[in-house]
């Protein structure tokens, strides 16, 4: 039984070929522009820290510019996944931080974010990081409370989306089209 289990972990296929240089170039331009725009926006509010520059936005940039045709990269997933995950984490911290350990809150925030994203068809893997960031975040992040899903989360996700709409459709390649669907 154990041998059969470990056999399932073997490769079933070969690694795909590298993407064409054209796609790599547009992905790089999009990721640079999206994160740069969030950084500029962030600096217009505070020069001391990059409040809007969250790790989960870096992961979103990889998806929406590097794999714009993936289900995880579509606008519904990008926006919904981040916002719903943020709502889950704020709810947990507001209702359970005095009752549960930080470890349990971390695990619950990510697990419940996955559950909510599945149920709403908004699966966006960086949403798990968005949920976790709030739970383990500094006092500055947690003091945002119910504003966290709106700012920095919704604002940052919408900046990434606007850049994705512009950059992903600039290519002459008719197959590089974004989005595949909106809703």
Lowest mean pLDDT among 7-11, 50-54, 71-75: 50-54
Output 163 or 10, whichever has higher pLDDT. 163
- Tell me what pLDDT residue 121 has: 98
DSSP of 85-137, one letter per residue? HHHHHHHHHHHHTTTS-HHHHHHHHHHHHHHHHHHTT---THHHHHHHHHHH-
Tokens of 125: 């893997």
What is the DSSP code (8-state) at residue 148?
T
Mean local confidence (pLDDT), 140-152: 94
Q: What confidence tier does 47 reach under pLDDT thresholds 50, 70, 90?
A: low
Q: What percent of the chain has pLDDT over 90?
A: 83
- Tell me what pLDDT residue 12 has: 85
Output 100 or 47, whichever has higher pLDDT. 100
Q: What confidence tier does 70 reach under pLDDT thresholds 50, 70, 90?
A: very high
DSSP of 28-64, one letter per residue? HHHHHHHHHHHHHHHHTT-SSS-TT--HHHHHHHHHH
Contact 148, 141 (CB under 8 A): yes
pLDDT at 46 over 80: no
- Tell me what pLDDT residue 52 has: 82
Q: What confidence tier does 80 reach under pLDDT thresholds 50, 70, 90?
A: very high
Q: What is the mean pLDDT of the chain?
A: 94
pLDDT, one tens digit per residue, over 91-142 is 999 999 999 999 999 999 999 999 999 999 999 999 999 999 999 999 989 9
């Amino acid at each position: 039984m154990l041998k059969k289990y470990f056999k399932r972990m073997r490769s079933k296929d070969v690694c795909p070929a590298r993407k064409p240089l054209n796609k790599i170039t547009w992905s790089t331009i999009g990721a640079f522009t999206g994160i740069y725009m969030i950084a500029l926006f962030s600096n217009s509010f505070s020069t001391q820290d990059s409040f809007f520059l969250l790790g989960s936005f870096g992961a979103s940039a990889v998806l929406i510019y590097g794999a714009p045709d993936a289900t995880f990269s579509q606008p519904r997933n990008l926006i919904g996944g981040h916002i719903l995950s943020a709502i889950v984490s704020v709810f947990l911290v507001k209702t359970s931080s005095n009752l549960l350990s930080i470890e349990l809150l971390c695990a619950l925030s990510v697990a419940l974010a996955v559950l909510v994203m599945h149920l709403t068809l908004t699966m966006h893997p960086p949403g798990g990081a968005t949920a976790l960031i709030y739970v383990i975040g500094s006092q500055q992040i947690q003091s945002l409370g119910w504003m966290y899903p709106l700012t920095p989360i919704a604002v940052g996700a919408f900046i990434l989306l606007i850049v994705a709409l512009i950059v992903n459709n600039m290519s002459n390649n008719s197959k590089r089209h974004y989005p595949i669907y909106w809703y």
